[in-house]
Structure 1
Amino acid sequence: MEQLQITSATPDSALLDLPWRLPLAEWPADVLAALPRGISRHVVRFVRLGGRVLAIKEISEHVAFREYELLRQLRKLEIPAVKPIGVVTGRRDDHGEPLEAALVTEHLAFSLPYRAVFSQAVRPDTATRLIDALAVLLVRLHLVGFYWGDVSLSNTLFRRDADQFAAYLVDAETGELHRELSPGQRSYDVDLARTNIIGELMDLAAGELLHEEVDEIGIGNSLVERYNELWEALTGVEAFHADERWRVAARIERLNDLGFDVGELAITTDIDGTTVQIQPKVVDAGHHSRRLLRLTGLDVQDNQARRLLNDLDSYRAAMDRQEDDEQLVAHDWFQNVFQPTVRAVPRELRRKLEPAQLFHEILDHRWFISEKAQRDIPMDEATASYVENVLRYRPDEKAILGLAPGEDDPESDHFHLST
């Protein structure tokens, strides 16, 4: 008889303790984590195991191994995607009947499926911000040659990233990784995304979860527009006169503002040297997050990093330390501003949001109450006001362990430092 097998690059013996002899739909509540789930064509369950939450999906063995390998490759390419843990095969029930294989991934902390985002009280532009995040993810996937084949909000998880969202690929079941995508492949992915998004938003509207001002078709069309604008900015050829060489630096700065680093530029001139053409050849996302990581060790989303870097720059100016080494100033800012602010938030409330998102929202709140009071509110006073008037009423978005109130949370005092 075929025995249970677990294929994993990072084996965890605790996986053997899960009730693999039962169909996933029948797993008992005591092993499950009550987290919001998106729509899936397969049975998906979240389980608590060894201080983390795992997502388990029942699919055929061939598809499970294929998706597992694709997710591993995407992670190596530094694409935002869920972390694959392993594939479980050889499952049989108590009567010896075979059960489907299972793909095991790690649940993405602080993430929400799009339906969970809309189940909260959201601004009318939330749909637009989700689409912007999905467009960025799709462009990043296409840049590395990944054809998704089933682009949708349902196959994406979203994490708050300052005032925006960051999108993560969840389902790679229909994906293909190529050396380079053809325009036809990219166009099909984008058109499918538009169709699926319109359908998903119409479904939300039918369930009265969508703000009445949202135009579902307009939002779907905006995905196409946003994708094309971003793709052109990252890959388009730009021509200018030879005496306008400053435009090379301007192109790089524009890409940095979009959150991308330029690893290489293709620069060519015509025969008489009067016209220059430039085109980015290597473009990597995460410009701001890489800079913040280098300066402070904080590993956060790119828009969060941009906001924290702005506060770091303000601190540097306020301390009159523009001539000091940037690394030393960043260390002092982290020790004297960031850490004390986050630690001033009560532990039981700190788990609601990521530390970087907490800090960003406290900065926003400080600006708001300073404007209202017509004076500069100190950071400690702003933090206390934010906790009492905003954070206590925020839903818990951590959703990392599915913990009930009062249970221990191993990450509640963790600043997501890179080691």
Structure 2
Amino acid sequence: MSANRLSLQITAASPDPALLDLPWHVPLAEWPAETLAALPRGISRHIVRFARMSGRVIAIKEIGESVAYREYELLRQLSRLDVPSVEPVGVITGRRAPDGEPLEAVLITEHLQFSLPYRALFSQSLRPDTATRLIDALAVLLVRLHLIGFYWGDVSLSNTLFRRDAETFAAYLVDAETGDLHEKLTEGQRAYDLEVARVNIIGELMDLQAGEFLEEDVDAVAIGNALADRYRELWVALTSTESFGYGDRWRVQARIDRLNDLGFDVGELDITTDVEGTTVRIQPKVVDAGHHSRRLMRLTGLDVQENQARRLLNDLDEFRAATDRQREDESFVAHDWLTEIFEPAVRAVPKNLRKKLEPAQIYHELLDHRWFVSQQEQRDVPMPEIVKSYVKHILPTRPDEQAILGVQAADLREDEGDLPGDMLIG
């Protein structure tokens, strides 16, 4: 074993000594169950396993050495650009079996907590519009990638992880193997990525229907086409130039508000007038996603998804109005809301149930439950009472999205088969 360790080459920004404790001399498909973490896996043409290391979970993909290094660097670049994607840990090469047989290199990434592959989501008997919500999340992700010049090359549900974001989902890029980063994408590159996405998604949804995970009457082709429509709508809203009369200057703020509603900040506007000064042209020059999540982070320190942030900010605004503090500094009110409302509600959930969902998602569901119970009982039910009801009747039925879905570690040693598409690393 020591000889095998000596032959390893580890490339990582912050190498963890615990990496050496994993059985790199064994082909990934044969790793012992006690080393693995029981997490749901997607379809793969590569061998992928999840392993526990230093109190966290990592995803390990066996792949060619040059491809592993390239994908590692791409993921590092995406991380620096703050694009929703899995965090790269490192690349290990020089693996050898005890008999000296060389083994493939591996790419290691952090497992994205509370995330699920699309197949695991469809195994939970979700609402009929789940496919549409996943498509919306993927469209937002694709637009964000294209805005920073990233060409994906293999856009699909299989190459994406999803995290719950209030009533919607947030999408994260998992597989960057076919991707490339440019200064700016051409119209042809964007169109090709979008067409690949449309075709792949139609095929994946039809595959779900064949496996009876999706109702037969769901129009897979229409959903695939809807992705293209949603993408184009977002792209136009974020990049198009708008002209209007000088007397309609209010439309500048309306455009900013529209972009904020889509979850994007406008860091800079390019506003020009014609020679006579009667027409104004506006085009956002710097756009970035996460308007509401950044505002909530600034006010409370909570780092949550965009739609969760929107919901929590609405609750903060209601708290501000209910306590008649609209004229006070928002940061002071936010501190009181955090310490008097949000934190007590989340802490009231028993520790053994907190792995079910993220704290922000739990609070979002508490707000939903409060509305339902208050409507049912025709009174304003206080939050402590709502927490007790939610913990008793709702939360125990939720799948454990951190530990996950009752998958047995032994099942992870099954062969992947000849199914198409890439495995989810996340």
Shorter chain as normaliser: what TM range?
A: over 0.9
Contact 2:161–2:172 at 8 Å: present in 1 too? yes
Distance, in Å, in 1 between the alignment partners of 2:265 and 2:100 is 54
**2:239 matched to which residue of 1?**
235
After superposition, what is the alpha-carbon deviation per residue over 1:194-226, rounded to whole angstroms, capped at 9, x for unaligned?
Answer: 000000000000000003342100100000000
Per the TM alignment, residue 45 of structure 1 is displaced from its structure 2 partner at its CA by 0.1
Asked if residue 178 in structure 1 is aligned to residue 182 in structure 2, the reply is yes
Alignment of 1:20-419 (within 5 A): 20-399=24-403
Tell me the secondary structure at the aligned position of residue 38 of structure 2: coil
Distance, in Å, in 2 between the alignment partners of 1:42 and 1:268 is 52
Contact 2:38–2:404 at 8 Å: present in 1 too? no
Contact 2:140–2:231 at 8 Å: present in 1 too? yes
Note the aligned Cα RMSD (angstroms).
1.4
After superposition, what is the alpha-carbon deviation per residue over 1:91-123, rounded to whole angstroms, capped at 9, x for unaligned?
Answer: 011111111100000000000000000000111
> Which of 18, 23, 29 matches 2:22?
18
Distance, in Å, in 1 between the alignment partners of 2:195 and 2:99 is 46
After superposition, what is the alpha-carbon deviation per residue over 1:362-412, rounded to whole angstroms, capped at 9, x for unaligned?
Answer: 0001101111111111111111111111111111111389999xxxxxxxx
Distance, in Å, in 2 between the alignment partners of 1:214 and 1:316 is 43
Contact 2:293–2:309 at 8 Å: present in 1 too? yes
**2:414 matched to which residue of 1?**
none
Identity %: 73
Distance, in Å, in 1 between the alignment partners of 2:220 and 2:405 is 34
Distance, in Å, in 2 between the alignment partners of 1:41 and 1:298 is 38
Distance, in Å, in 1 between the alignment partners of 2:407 and 2:41 is 16
How many residues are treated as equivalent by the alignment? Answer: 404
Contact 1:111–1:399 at 8 Å: present in 2 too? no
Contact 1:52–1:400 at 8 Å: present in 2 too? no
Query: Scaled by the length of structure 2, what TM-score is found?
Result: 0.93
After superposition, what is the alpha-carbon deviation per residue over 1:141-191, rounded to whole angstroms, capped at 9, x for unaligned?
Answer: 000000000000000000000000000000000000000000100000000
Distance 1:250 1:311, change over 3 A: same
Gaps of 5+ in 1: 405-419
Contact 2:399–2:405 at 8 Å: present in 1 too? no
Gaps of 5+ in 2: 409-426
Tell me the secondary structure at the aligned position of residue 188 of structure 1: helix
Query: Scaled by the length of structure 1, what TM-score is found?
Result: 0.95
Contact 1:341–1:383 at 8 Å: present in 2 too? yes
Contact 1:260–1:287 at 8 Å: present in 2 too? yes
Per the TM alignment, residue 272 of structure 1 is displaced from its structure 2 partner at its CA by 1.4
Task: Name the amino acid aligned to 2:61.
Answer: K
Task: After superposing the two structures, state which structure 1 stretch, 319-328 or 197-206, moved more.
Answer: 319-328
Per the TM alignment, residue 346 of structure 1 is displaced from its structure 2 partner at its CA by 0.9
Larger RCO (alpha carbons 8 Å, 6+ apart): 2
Per the TM alignment, residue 315 of structure 1 is displaced from its structure 2 partner at its CA by 0.4
